[in-house]
Structures are given as C-alpha cells and as structure tokens.
C-alpha cells in the first residue's frame, strides 16, 4: 500500500524533511540533516521525539543524508509505502508557474534555470537528482517558491529595462510563495469569509523576510523582486539597494562581483548592521546601540513597504504576520503595528502577548493576526494531487 508522502527542502548546508500520510496529510515524521564546520549529522524525529541521530562523514552531503533517511525508512518498512516525494524549489522562472511531476524533460529545463538562483537552485535540484538515483521508480514533484506570484500583472513585474531584457526574463519574480499560499488557504479561518477575499498584507518575517499583498487570495505585489536580495532587511541579506551603489561596490572591490555578492547575501542585514547577531531574539536582548539600531531599521523598512503595498491594493483590510519572527515575536509585531496607526491599526496587547490568532483590538480599522506558516504542508498537498491518481487509494 502506497500511503505516505516525503517532503524535502534542500539548502546549501541543510536538508529538511517531513513524512505525511497520503489520506489526511498528517505529519508523522520530520527532521533535518545539517552540514557544519564541526561535522555533519542527520536527526529524525518521530511523534515529536528524537528517534535517531547519525553522523555523516563523507564528501557528498545530500547523498549521505538521503541515503541515511531512506535506510531508516527501510528499517521500519516504510520505503515501499512511499507514494511520492515533493520538493521545495526556489525558482521556476517564467516557464514553471505551477507544481509539476518531474520527468527527464522537466528536470533538464529546471537545470537551465540555475543562473536565476545560483546560491539556492543547484541544491534544490541536486536533491531531485540524488533521489532519482536512490529511488528511480519514486514519483517526484517540484513545487516552486516563485509560482504563487505568477498572478501578478505585467505592470507589477516589469522593471524599467530595455524590452529585450524583460523578454529574456529579467523581471520581478517574488519568493516565499509556498508560505503565502499556505496563509492564503487559511484566510477564511483566520479572518472570516467576509474579510478573507479582501485587501490583505502578509508579512513573512524571519531570517528571510518579505511582504505580499493579496486580493482574492492571489498575489498582487510583493517586496522581493528578481532575487532574494530585494525588499526588507533580512538576517544576513541587505534588502533593497540603489543599483548604482551595487555598481560602485563592484568597482571598489576591483570588479570582483562574487565578493560583493557574498557581502550582500551573507555579511549584511541584521548581522552586518548590528555587528552582534542575525537572530532577532539576540538583538532584542542586547544592550548594544547598534543592535537597537538594526531592529529600528528592520521595523522602519517593514512599515515603509506596508505603505507601498497598501497603495498597490488601494487600501488594506488586514495584516497577517507569519514566519519565525512574525509568528513568534510579540515585540516586533507591536512595534510594526504601532507605526501603522495611519492605517487605523490597533493591537490588542494582551492577545499579542498571548501568541497567535486574531490580535486586533476593538475599534481597529483593519484586522490583525499572527499565524505560523507551513510550507511543507503546501508541498504535500501538491504532491498528493499530482501522484494520487497513480497509486492505490489509501485504505
């Protein structure tokens, strides 16, 4: 009986995974493999408890991690129950605007997109290649983080560049799409059916951070653009920069674009501004003036971009926080909402301190909420939809 779905999220130094039941998409097993300076390991959790921790010692991190995971599943006679595997793929370009079943042709076309996201996409796609080697008969599904934003208009996605460059794909793509898709699927429950189709700003705040404007549950605009550098201040990423400044930085560093790229992706953001940490919890607890300044700048940029998305929507009916910071930091939510008093946003501080759910106070002109995101579940949903017709129905 094929009744399980494997979900994979492969990064440059990590491989996160979860195992869902096909029938009701209940998450039974989750874990991660991590690659670090002091060694690599994989941790598997079952029913919320650590079931196995294994050291990985070779040179091929993803091959070892997936082999260790499949060995563990085989020991429990779960491998033969796999109906399919779904992958988070950071970029689909203009060609892939919905999830798809991976075949040789699709994989070759995805491999051609690596230049669009050279720091992320090779790792996403390598996990697909490795799993095809280890389990060649297992159906695989690719779910693209850019696809949710394909509903945006041409006006929204176009830069002021020569037309031939736009036609070659130099456009605004947007990311965090799987997170926004999950939040969109929850809006009826969060806001009620009257507000849910309205003008909603979603703030996905974490080590990566962005905002998305939704109308009728669809993406209208977002702060990310061509790359994951645009928009808000992030953990180690700079957010929006004047292109002239980027050109000057390249000149200042002797034309070494790779060095500047590392600076903008890895040495900037909260970490670079504060000189303390990229972790919002550490910054909020710090007495260092630069830490306070980094938090102030983080909040300012969120509020400023909320203004931009409010203009794109023609107003705002709701603000929903998600992501590691958005769903967990009452202080950041409070500071953002306090600066959005021009929207008529009023926070119920007791509800905000209590955690997630509806957070707006009586008299607030917009709804406010905080909801943990679940990108893995979105990948599982799409994977089930694309493979369920080819497997035995769950019993």
For residue 12, tell me if it sits in a domain: yes
Residue 391, domain member (yes or no): no
Q: What is the predicted pLDDT for the residue at 241? A: 97
pTM, two decimals, is 0.95
Per the annotation, the verdict on 145 as an active-site residue is: yes
Residues 225 and 356 placed together within one structural domain of the fold: yes
**Distance, CA of 219 to CA of 136 (rounded, Å):** 36
The reply to whether 125 falls in a domain is yes
Is residue 166 included in any domain, yes or no?
A: no
Query: What pLDDT is attached to residue 391?
Result: 52
**Measured distance CA(362)–CA(49) in Å, rounded:** 41
Range of the domain at 319: 177-375
Which pLDDT score is estimated for 36? 81
pLDDT at 390: 56
- Same domain? For 191 and 125 the reply is no
Same domain, 140 and 192: no
Do 209 and 277 belong to one domain?
yes
* Overall size of the chain counted in residues: 395
Residue 155 located in a structural domain:
no
> 61 and 191, same structural domain?
no
Q: Do 232 and 332 fall into the same domain?
A: yes
Nearest Cα to Cα of residue 34 among 4, 9, 5: 9
Give the chain's domain count. 2
Q: Are residues 52 and 197 in the same domain?
A: no
Has residue 240 been placed in a domain? yes
Catalytic-labelled residue, pool 145, 230, 317, 360: 145
- H helix or E strand, kind and range, residue 340: none
Same domain, 126 and 202: no
CATH number for the domain spanning 302: value is: 3.30.420.40
Which residues of the chain fall below pLDDT 50?
Answer: 392-395
Give me the pLDDT at residue 12, please: 86
Question: Could you tell me if 83 and 125 lie in one domain?
Answer: yes
Same domain, 185 and 129: no
184 and 140 in a common domain: no
What pLDDT, on the 0 to 100 scale, is given for residue 57? 82
Considering the domain architecture, whether residues 205 and 346 belong to the same structural domain is answered as yes
Spell out the alpha helix ranges (H) of 33-161.
Answer: 61-75, 104-111, 121-134, 154-157
Return the pLDDT at 1: 67
């Amino acid at each position: 009986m094929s009744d399980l779905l494997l979900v994979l999220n492969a990064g440059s130094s990590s491989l996160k995974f979860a195992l869902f039941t096909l029938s009701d998409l209940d998450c039974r097993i989750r874990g991660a493999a991590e690659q670090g300076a002091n060694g690599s390991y994989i941790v598997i959790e079952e029913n919320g408890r650590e079931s196995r921790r294994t050291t990985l010692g070779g040179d091929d991190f993803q091959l070892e991690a997936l082999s260790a995971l499949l060995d563990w599943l085989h020991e429990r006679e779960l491998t033969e129950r796999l109906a399919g595997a779904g992958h988070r793929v950071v970029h689909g370009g203009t060609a892939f605007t919905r999830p798809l079943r991976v075949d040789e042709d699709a994989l070759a076309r995805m491999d051609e997109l690596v230049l669009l996201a050279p720091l992320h996409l090779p790792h996403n796609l390598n996990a697909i290649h490795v799993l095809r080697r280890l389990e060649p008969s297992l159906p695989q599904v690719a779910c693209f983080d850019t696809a949710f934003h394909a509903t945006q208009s041409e006006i929204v996605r176009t830069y002021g560049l020569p037309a031939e460059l736009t036609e070659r794909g130099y456009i605004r793509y947007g990311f965090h799409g799987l997170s926004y898709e999950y939040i969109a699927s929850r809006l009826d429950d969060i806001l009620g059916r009257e507000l849910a189709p309205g003008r909603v700003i979603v703030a996905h705040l974490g080590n990566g951070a962005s905002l998305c404007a939704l109308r009728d549950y669809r993406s209208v605009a977002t702060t990310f653009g061509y790359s994951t550098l645009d928009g808000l201040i992030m953990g180690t990423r700079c957010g929006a920069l004047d292109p002239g400044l980027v050109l000057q930085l390249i000149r200042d560093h002797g034309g070494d674009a790779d060095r500047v790229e590392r600076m903008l992706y890895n040495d900037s953001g909260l970490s670079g501004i504060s000189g303390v940490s990229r972790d919002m919890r550490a910054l909020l607890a710090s007495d260092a003036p630069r830490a306070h300044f980094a938090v102030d700048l983080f909040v300012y940029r969120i509020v400023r971009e909320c203004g931009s998305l409010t203009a794109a929507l023609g107003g705002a009916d709701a603000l929903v926080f998600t992501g590691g910071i958005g769903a967990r930091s009452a202080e950041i939510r409070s500071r953002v909402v306090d600066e959005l008093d021009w929207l008529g946003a009023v926070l119920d501080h007791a509800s905000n301190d209590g955690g997630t759910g509806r957070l707006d106070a009586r008299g607030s002109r917009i709804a406010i909420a905080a909801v943990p995101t679940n990108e893995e579940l979105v990948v599982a949903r799409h994977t089930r939809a694309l493979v369920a017709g080819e497997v035995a129905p769950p019993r």
